[in-house]
Structure 1
Amino acid sequence: MKNHAIIFLSVLCFACGGNETETKMDFSNITFTMDTVVVDAGDEIINLKYGLWSSAMTEDKAFLYLWNMDESTLDKININELRLEEKIKYEIEGPDGVGAFVSWMNMLDNDRILMANFQEMGLFDMKGKKIKTYKLDKEKFIGDSLEDGESFNRKSIITDGGNVIYGLLGNWTNDNLSFAKVNFEDMEIKKYELPGIDELKDYSVALKSGQMMMISTTDKSLQRIGDRIILSNSAYAPIFVFDMKKDSVYQVNYTPQLTAAAKKGGYPKEVDSEKRFKEVMAEINSEINFQAPVWDEVNKRFYRFSYETIPGEITDEPMLESPEQKTISKVFLSIFDEDFNLIGESLVSQMTQIPNSVFVKDGKIWHYVNVDDELGFVRMAFD
């Protein structure tokens, strides 16, 4: 195992915001250390071609599972010991097949994982065997209607022993999404209205040129924290919280003091050239980008990074290059209590790259880094 030395000690001067008068916490003079650790892969190779895009982590943050598309293996990484523990072989086709392309996956528990491709979802054990197949066929469900081509096209939450999936339903031809609960035991779909969503702007841009059609939109994220599912969007500060016990959803609003609360909007909905598409996307990405909040179980807080990028020269690089691949201008960190009251925020001037695949373990903020083609993590510890 490689364990890089402490990089620096720094002071964060937090600006108060939100409902700071309701808390006794003091974030006016926080110190923290940052170090970088690297996972020991032994004689194997951890494929980082797509970073941690197709990965899932156990609830206790003890294990990270990373899908290796080139080898059709699920790489089990021990986060406690920072080592590659095993490569679990999966079939592409047949009764236990995961499909040619795993678009996303999520853990049901420590022994079962949900893996999705463009046609269906499958629940698998950790020996490569398929336990259950999930398909969305609108003719077979009761309750709210299912539109043509709708599927869970982003990482979704699987619960109730594998019988219920919560997620954002949509299709690949537009950006119309709805938050839904699908019960595969009762074969029932329930869609939920997100209060205030009509007041929030849509930031999708479509490229239509000849036979080419491409849509780019902002990142949407879902994560389960206890009995709550947190829905966030990279374009704006407001957060939606679904209460699984009450079977209802509400919006959380807060006003950042150091950044805009949302992208400004007003972009063209459709363009007809690759050059114009890249120009619009560069402008969108250069404005504030909000990451998904992450939960600190030890300190009972949420942390949320946001950042701005520097518009670069329009090149022949891939059109859908993510903002994380851009040169950053500023990175900010906001801290919330467990009810999403904003209790502190700061410019993190020492960060030279955008934090990627962020999680909190043992009170420390971790994020993925590629260290000379090896899997690494930067750990941020508050003193």
Structure 2
Amino acid sequence: MKKLLPLFSIIIITACSENGNSASDNILENLTYSIDTLLVDTGDEIIDIGQGARLSSISKDSKKYFYYDLKKATISEIDLQTLELSDIYQFSKEGPNSIGFSPPRIQPLSNNRFFFASSANVGIYSNTGEKEKSLKFNFKEIEGLDIDEGGIISYKVQISPDEKTLYALTNPYQTDSDVRLMIIDPDSKTGRSISLPSMIPTLKLRVEFQKDGDFKGRGEGVSMEFLNDKLFITSSANSNSYIYDYQTDSLHLIEFPHQLVATQKTAEVKNKVEDIDEFFAETEKFKYQVGFGEFLWDKQRQQYFRFGYQLIPNEDPKLEKKSDIFLFAYYENLNLIGETQLNNVEYRFEAPFFKDGKLWSYVNVEDELGFAIFTFGF
């Protein structure tokens, strides 16, 4: 069986423009863009989009969009070439093929299969709803992991493109002093973990209030995603990113010299409070600072992009939905080559992705599934 090898080094790289990152090197300095909004043709079917696109995903070739309905446990498959509903796949929340009741992370796989991961279940399923392989492991089952959070390994868990390795992050609600990447061989039930010290400050920006059955929580998070056969580990609270190349078993920390925005959120907050007014006061210490989204890959340009968001205060905190939006661009080697503010955009992009050189973002158009499509010129 495949054995997991120890990681020998972490390489720290400062990503910069090839000519020193001066203003003239900024490829987004004169950015122009146009926006088209298109609706999906669902025929006689009705897609409930009340939950937004937080559980959606796209195929690796960007030809299919998968929208998960949490209430019905169905996946609506959208053909992105024709913008038509092409199929609906039904799954079970109970029984031998259960995917569980919790909101899942869904990862499309080859041959019309899906990887489901939630707090209750982890496994590979066919598009007919049949469980092909259970990947539900307790921490104590994995030899060499040296982490015991209790329960199953499910937080942010993803499977490698070759389906041989599981990757997961330590749960910030269980481990508040470290962030670790867990690498697991499901066949041999062996694993190891790697500390990600640059992500630890993210854990400090978290506030919880709980009293008489009322619970509120707000905080920054760490995310993982596969792009270009590498695993990107990013924080919403700083621009630093870890890139794990699983083919060479190497981990790089890249630090970006942003000039347009601060590179990280900074605040000292109380993580647990006993008064609701104190909860809002503590969250205000960091929520109005610039945060960062996940990386996006534009295959046509062979460039990466990333958004930054700075929430705009409102007299009524419940109505705080507008943000200053920033766009960052990087070469394939992740050198920072551009940054700009999108002055005429006020709302966060929801589940964005690139297709054919254009940026696509989910939009709700009068309770119908649609996409805002941005054509960039620079």
| TM-score normalised by structure 2 residue count | 0.87
Could you say which residue in structure 2 is the equivalent of 1:6?
none
How much does 1:275 deviate? 3.0
Letter in 2 for 1:272: E
**Structure 2 CA distance for partners of 1:244 and 1:128, relative to 1, 3 Å:** same
Contact kept in structure 1, 2:203 and 2:220, CA below 8 Å: no
Could you say which residue in structure 1 is the equivalent of 2:337?
343
Higher mean alpha-carbon deviation, 277-286 vs 292-301, is at 277-286
Could you say which residue in structure 2 is the equivalent of 1:19?
17
**Cα deviation digits, residues 77-112 of structure 1 (max 9, x gap):** 111111111211112211111112233221232521
How much does 1:152 deviate? 4.7
Contact kept in structure 1, 2:138 and 2:151, CA below 8 Å: no
Structure 1 segment 1-383 matched on structure 2, within 5 A: 18-21=16-19, 26-149=27-150, 151-159=152-160, 161-170=162-171, 172-173=173-174, 175=176, 177-194=179-196, 196-197=198-199, 202-209=204-211, 215-313=217-315, 326-383=320-377
How much does 1:240 deviate? 0.8
**Cα deviation digits, residues 52-89 of structure 1 (max 9, x gap):** 11122110111111211222211111111111112111
Kindly report structure 1 stretches of 4+ aligned residues shifted beyond 6 Å. 22-25
Could you say which residue in structure 1 is the equivalent of 2:7?
none
Higher mean alpha-carbon deviation, 23-32 vs 286-295, is at 23-32
**Structure 2 CA distance for partners of 1:149 and 1:139, relative to 1, 3 Å:** closer
**Cα deviation digits, residues 126-178 of structure 1 (max 9, x gap):** 11111011222233221122313265554433126433211213264554542
**Structure 2 CA distance for partners of 1:156 and 1:364, relative to 1, 3 Å:** farther
Contact kept in structure 1, 2:58 and 2:64, CA below 8 Å: yes
2-side partners of 1:27 and 1:90: how far apart? 44
How much does 1:362 deviate? 0.7
**Structure 2 CA distance for partners of 1:198 and 1:55, relative to 1, 3 Å:** closer
**Structure 2 CA distance for partners of 1:284 and 1:110, relative to 1, 3 Å:** farther
**Structure 2 CA distance for partners of 1:105 and 1:152, relative to 1, 3 Å:** farther
2-side partners of 1:296 and 1:313: how far apart? 38
How much does 1:195 deviate? 5.1
Q: Give the number of the structure with larger relative contact order, counting CA–CA contacts within 8 Å between residues 6 or more apart.
A: 2
Structure having the higher strand fraction is 1
Higher mean alpha-carbon deviation, 365-374 vs 157-166, is at 157-166
**Cα deviation digits, residues 288-345 of structure 1 (max 9, x gap):** 1111110111111111111111223456x5xxxxxxx733241111101112111011
**Cα deviation digits, residues 104-128 of structure 1 (max 9, x gap):** 2212325211112322212101111
2-side partners of 1:155 and 1:64: how far apart? 20
Contact kept in structure 2, 1:58 and 1:110, CA below 8 Å: no
Paired residues in the alignment total: 359
How much does 1:186 deviate? 1.0
**Structure 2 CA distance for partners of 1:54 and 1:200, relative to 1, 3 Å:** closer
Higher mean alpha-carbon deviation, 101-110 vs 121-130, is at 101-110
Could you say which residue in structure 1 is the equivalent of 2:4?
none
What runs of 5+ residues in structure 2 fail to find an aligned partner?
Answer: 1-14
2-side partners of 1:373 and 1:102: how far apart? 21
2-side partners of 1:216 and 1:153: how far apart? 21
1-side partners of 2:218 and 2:135: how far apart? 27
Letter in 1 for 2:337: I
Could you say which residue in structure 1 is the equivalent of 2:12?
none
How much does 1:201 deviate? 6.7
Please state whether the residue corresponding to 1:277 is helix, strand or coil: helix
Please state whether the residue corresponding to 1:71 is helix, strand or coil: coil
**Structure 2 CA distance for partners of 1:277 and 1:173, relative to 1, 3 Å:** farther
How much does 1:50 deviate? 1.4
Contact kept in structure 1, 2:119 and 2:155, CA below 8 Å: no
What runs of 5+ residues in structure 1 fail to find an aligned partner?
Answer: 1-16, 318-324
1-side partners of 2:338 and 2:255: how far apart? 15
**Cα deviation digits, residues 202-252 of structure 1 (max 9, x gap):** 311122435656543213221112231111111111111111122121211
Letter in 2 for 1:228: K
